[in-house]
Structure 1
Amino acid sequence: MAFELEERCIDVADVKLGMYVSRLDLPWEQTPFPLQGLEVRSLEDIDKLRELCRFVYVDARRQVIIDNVPLKILNRTELPEARFQARIGYRDEVDFAEELPRAREAMEQASTLVDRVFDDVMQGRELPVESVEQAVRPLVASVLRSADAFFWVEGLRRRDSYSYNHAIHCSVLAALFGRHMGFAEETIVSLAAGGLLMDVGKARVPAELLTHPGRPSAEEMEQIRQHVAHGLDILHASELRDADVIDIVRTHHERHDGQGYPAGLAGVEIPLAGRMLSIIDAYHSMISEHTYRPAVSRHQALRAIYAAKGTQFQAELVEQFQVCLGVYPTGSMVELTTGEVAVVLAQNQARRLTPRVVILSTPDKLALTTFQVMDLMNQPEGKPQVHIRRGLAPGEYGIDTADLFLQGGADRGVRGATAC
């Protein structure tokens, strides 16, 4: 990925497996290393560096995957205070259509690994930190390459278990929010891992409480709220030591005005990671189907979050979250002023009310089998201008975007469609 380096000079004795060496204290031509940049994959690499150099520069944002198993960054107990400083201006590095296959592959891998994580926890086994890393890293990498591709793929998924779907979507949202805020990649990985695991404690809540139709009673709600304590117990019994992930699990139900749980924390008493993920958790809960209420549109959910700024959620973070997702987030179903149903394909950063959309129906709401892409910001002059009339809830008008995913037609339509 072509992002700027975050270089740190270290003594060669401190070089470890998994580091990426970006510069040496001598010219690369005087070493046996073939390229200007060394992925430290073996003890032999370390020995050779120690033989040739006194100090080296490493890219603090880049981690090397060895034998397809990521090193465990999720055991960091001491995190730099500057990790939440916005200092990276991310831009899409690849075209949306080019990223789609990689986004889909990352989604499928994350789905498989999340199943494994929850199954291990439900069976009383230790949380598999390696599986969390392997799920999160490709997901984060895809979001950093293209802000919209992963949300297009995620928006077209067939919905299975709420817990699994919630875990993956919150993880992706955390990665996108972290990218928008300009955090370093490793900080974004921690946020994404926190999004994946913040409700892992529900694996120890009786299943009938989570699937029972109707709103839970006060007594049942108290049992459900114990998932925070269960989640912390699960993390403490594992090898995961990342302080940001633990903060997220501990505080994602706290509220800015002190009316949350379990500790009734308020304002800056809530860690920043927890404040961010509380917004994400509430947003995704609203756009998801529950046994006691239907899903609302993404646009409606954003409006509800915005209405709660300064009370439930920190106002500044709410405003950044709104800018991050756009008025009509990628993957949203919308109705156009022509009557056609469309799904938001990608944001136009200059004008957030005019994204690119894929048209799914005729003006009479009859589903199409071939798709056209329309850029609402760049419409032909001299013709009536089309706008978004309103956001739609999932499945409204009987149109299910997941059917497009199962048919495999949506990606082909996006890659092959001509703009209309």
Structure 2
Amino acid sequence: MAQEIKNIVPLVVTDLTEGMFVSELDRPWLETPYLLQGFFIQSQQDIDELGQYCRYVFIDTRKGKPPPPHVQPIELENNNGNRVPEQRYQNSVPFEDELQSAEASHAEVANSMMQIMKDLKQGKQLSIPALDEIVRPMINSIVRNPDAYMWMSRMREKDSYSYKHSVRCSIFAITLGRQMGLPIKDLKELAMGAMLFDVGKTQLADEILLKPGKLTDYEYEEVKRHVNYGEEILKRTPNISNNIISMAQTHHERFLGQGYPRGLKGDEIPLFGQIAGMIDCYDAITSARPYAVAISAYDGVKTLYGWRNKEFHGVLIEQFIQAIGIYPAGTLVELSNGCVGVVIAQSRTRRLRPMLRVVLDQEKQPLQSFPTLDLMTEVTDKNGNALAIVKSLEPGAYGINPQELYL
């Protein structure tokens, strides 16, 4: 720990040089345009731009160049400064241990969210303190180990897209915020905002929301009004933060200005709104809806990657993919030996070698039990051949229901 602290050096921005790695700022990252926590100084322009927002920063000498001998680190007060350090989260509980806790709290969260949606449809007022109690166990679990809740996000039911969409988006938002190193306060706002950005849909007729065919022009315009309905609901909610409201206002804005309702573009869209829009789309394309079939989580990641700097900020998409993995928890995959497994946990260092539960043998026959396979440690099969994932499978392939794997 002492050595790690020694490698983090505070420098005045004007003392930075090319090749240094900026690991922290003198203020929260959310107060700057920098979406990615940590970056290399590549030019004088980088230094000049950074100087517009920060007086000093922290460099990590393990990742980049150290300061030259004539440059002295600045002296910082321990407790009286305004700097709010970002969090660095590490998995503190193994996946298998966290899963039981996540399963119990996920069921409570889903039931509570279903009741909230019913209440809002009946015109009742939203309670932020009550919602705070709902999201707290989710945040605690995802901070300990995000894989358990990511696994739970794949437990889908065809008749409950609306409210479970809100829960899944909250899971994705917390997981991304954790990856970005956001403090707990921001994770809480992200979690609640993700649950509520579609709240305006409670004011739409089920005939439109659940219509299996193409919407008429009138119906589409009515669906778009859910943004305004949601803003109205949230603005009359006591004790609600502006970040939560902005997620509802801007989750349909897009990076190049092609979204609605205001046609905002780039950094005109607040960070939380960009996050809301991205996770909303990711969950939509990987879920079965009345008018569309689901694509696999792996294909969802590939689709997102193709949207970089078109639909959403490229750095934000890359951070999200880092957070959930190339093969997110719940993804069905086929191995080089012919067996089929479902991803249960990520390797944070080698994203192509996650941990699996093997569910079908080489002949695609169900196994009596589901052994765990960690591709980080098991690199060959029993015949000594290289063992790896060869392809992702569509949801429900070979009749596999992930819900049955842990019951």
CA distance 1:208–1:368, shift in 2 (3 Å): farther
Residue in structure 1 matched with residue 165 of structure 2 by the alignment:
166
Cα distance per residue 1:264-320 (max 9 Å; x no partner): 100111000111121111100010001221100011111111111111111111111
Partners of 2:153 and 2:280 lie apart in 1 by 16
Cα distance per residue 1:99-155 (max 9 Å; x no partner): 122111210110121011101101111113233212211101100011211122332
Cα distance per residue 1:317-336 (max 9 Å; x no partner): 11111111111111211222
Aligned pairs for 1:367-406 within 5 A: 367-379=366-378, 383-405=384-406
SS at match of 2:330: coil
Equivalenced residue count is 327
SS at match of 1:343: strand
Indicate the larger mover: 362-371 or 152-161. 152-161
Pairwise CA RMSD: 2.0
CA distance 1:335–1:245, shift in 2 (3 Å): same
Contact 2:158 2:288 in 1 (8 A): no
SS at match of 1:193: helix
Partners of 1:200 and 1:366 lie apart in 2 by 43
CA shift, 1:218, in A, is 2.6
Contact 1:343 1:358 in 2 (8 A): yes
CA shift, 1:231, in A, is 0.8
Partners of 1:217 and 1:363 lie apart in 2 by 48
CA shift, 1:176, in A, is 0.4
Residue in structure 2 matched with residue 138 of structure 1 by the alignment:
137
Cα distance per residue 1:194-231 (max 9 Å; x no partner): 11111111111111111111222332111111111111
Cα distance per residue 1:243-281 (max 9 Å; x no partner): 111111110110000000111100111000111121111
Contact 2:379 2:388 in 1 (8 A): no
Aligned AA for 2:309? G
CA distance 1:237–1:334, shift in 2 (3 Å): same
Cα distance per residue 1:337-388 (max 9 Å; x no partner): 2222211111111110010111111223223331011111211567112211
Give ranges in structure 2 of 5+ residues lacking alignment.
1-77
Partners of 1:160 and 1:139 lie apart in 2 by 23
Partners of 1:260 and 1:358 lie apart in 2 by 40
Partners of 1:93 and 1:192 lie apart in 2 by 21
Residue in structure 1 matched with residue 88 of structure 2 by the alignment:
89
Residue in structure 1 matched with residue 3 of structure 2 by the alignment:
none
Contact 1:254 1:278 in 2 (8 A): yes
Aligned pairs for 1:6-85 within 5 A: none
Contact 1:156 1:404 in 2 (8 A): no
CA shift, 1:159, in A, is 4.8
Give the percent of matched residue pairs that are identical in Structure 1 and Structure 2: 35
Contact 1:117 1:131 in 2 (8 A): no
CA distance 1:321–1:380, shift in 2 (3 Å): closer
Give ranges in structure 1 of 5+ residues lacking alignment.
1-56, 59-79, 409-420
Aligned AA for 1:203? T
Partners of 2:307 and 2:215 lie apart in 1 by 23
CA shift, 1:240, in A, is 4.0
Aligned AA for 1:401? P
Indicate the larger mover: 301-310 or 362-371. 362-371
Structure 1 residue 153 and structure 2 residue 127: aligned?
no
SS at match of 1:92: coil
Aligned pairs for 1:354-365 within 5 A: 354-365=353-364
